[in-house]
Amino acid sequence: MRILVVYCHPCGESFNAAIRDLAIKTLQENGHEVTLIDLYAEGFDPVMSGEERRGYHTPVENEVPVKPHIDRLRETEALIFIYPTWWYGPPAMLKGWLDRVLVPHGIFQMPEPGKPIRGNLPNIRILGAISTLGSPNWWWWFMGMPGRRILLSGLRHLCALRTKTFWLGLHRMDSTTHDQRARFLDKVAAKLRRLA
């Protein structure tokens, strides 16, 4: 299976980097073709310019600034995000990627009166997110899980009709022990080995 991993963390020594490395290794060992987009490493600009916004609804033209990223989305069968949850959602870099790359006409069709948004990514059959969170699980649920909803509910409507989703989150990241982090990595590896 062709799998695209979108990774977002500014620090190379972070636990998120360990998750990324384990994810790629596990997926490749299980015969998957993995492509990595490391937003910070490539210096992705998350800021949509005024010119880009003015051309946002113009078919084809709106894809030009981020065409390599759009091409990767069109080629993949599974899309996995690895990132820290900050203030209940994805980091600004990842949110900016969503804003700039998920363009109308190319990635989705604008909703019509009485009809919902329609996606143009029927090639994506699996959508997953792996994140670390500072908050306890109960508080994050109480806040409505905005990051999870954006990626797994909102984005799912752009993918294949029966797209499978998964979420793995390590809560209270700032106070976890070495053993808790090791168990989470085991959980990540086990989940990714089962992808089909």
**Structural domain of residue 75, as residue ranges?**
2-193
Enter the pTM of the model.
0.94
* pLDDT tens for each residue of the chain, 196 residues long: 999 999 999 999 999 999 999 999 999 999 999 999 999 999 999 999 999 999 999 999 999 999 999 999 999 999 999 999 999 999 999 999 999 999 999 999 988 888 888 999 999 999 999 999 988 888 878 888 888 899 999 999 999 999 999 999 999 999 999 999 999 999 999 999 998 7
The pLDDT score that the predictor gives to residue 136 is 83
The pair of structure tokens assigned to 60 is 């084809």
The pLDDT score that the predictor gives to residue 147 is 87
Contact yes or no for 65/114 (Cβ under 8 A): no
Q: Which of 39, 81, 105 is nearest to 168 (CA)?
A: 81
Q: Which of 92, 96, 1, 85 is nearest to 48 (CA)?
A: 96
- The CATH number of residue 81's host domain is 3.40.50.360
The pLDDT score that the predictor gives to residue 141 is 85
The pLDDT score that the predictor gives to residue 115 is 83
Q: How many distinct structural domains can be found in the chain?
A: 1
Q: Which of 195, 188, 169 is nearest to 78 (CA)?
A: 195
